Amino acid sequence: MGAGVSWSRIVKLHEAGRGPVRLSLEPDEAQRAALARQLGLVSLPSLAAQVTVKPWLDGVEVTGRFDAVVEQVCGVSLDAFEQPVAGEIDLRAVPAGSPNAAAPEGGELELDPDAPDAPDILDGDAVDVAAIVVEHLALELDPFPRKPGATFEYQAPPEETSPFAALKALKDRKG
């Protein structure tokens, strides 16, 4: 797999400035294989996203949703299994140095749980919409995947094999 496998879809700020840019994104098989490795998945059988990029202040607002099928290893049975994952995308981003960026370190921090998140800061004059989709997919992945129906059956070891049982037996023999 060469460097040409990465999945990217760049939208320049000036493109979005002319009006909403609607994108339908779907990585090909090689790109999905690379993304699966990046995300620690067995495989990524499908990923599709419908995203709109539109102007917001001096940056962009990225909204939409994605649907994917991920193959993970069950933490209980260790079997690989597939499951659907979907999520919403709702993100705002502004260029570095924007007056609309978050308060600088040491600035006033408002703790309003209902307030929208501070905008992301863009590296340049463009946003990589595919990278945003992958970030949102990563946030939806179950860090402890469990295959439907898999149950963990704990069985305590027989008492005579525990170290305390062995000590008790020694003590009882001496007593």
Question: pLDDT digit string (tens) for 10-25?
Answer: 999 999 999 999 999 9
Task: Determine the pLDDT at residue 160.
Answer: 54
- CA-wise closest residue to 135 among 66, 80, 70: 66
Q: Residue 104 has what pLDDT?
A: 52
What pLDDT, on the 0 to 100 scale, is given for residue 173? 79
Q: What pLDDT is attached to residue 100?
A: 85
Confidence (pLDDT) at 1: 36
pLDDT of residue 113: 65
Task: Determine the residue type at 71.
Answer: E
Q: C-alpha distances in angstroms, 87 versus 11, 28, 62, 66, 137?
A: 21, 20, 13, 6, 7
The residue behind tokens 């419908």 is 50
Which residues of the chain register pLDDT less than 50?
Answer: 1-3, 106-107
Mean pLDDT of the chain: 87
Q: For the chain, how many residues are written?
A: 175
* Inter-residue contact 62 to 89 (CB < 8 Å): yes
Q: What pLDDT is attached to residue 115?
A: 64
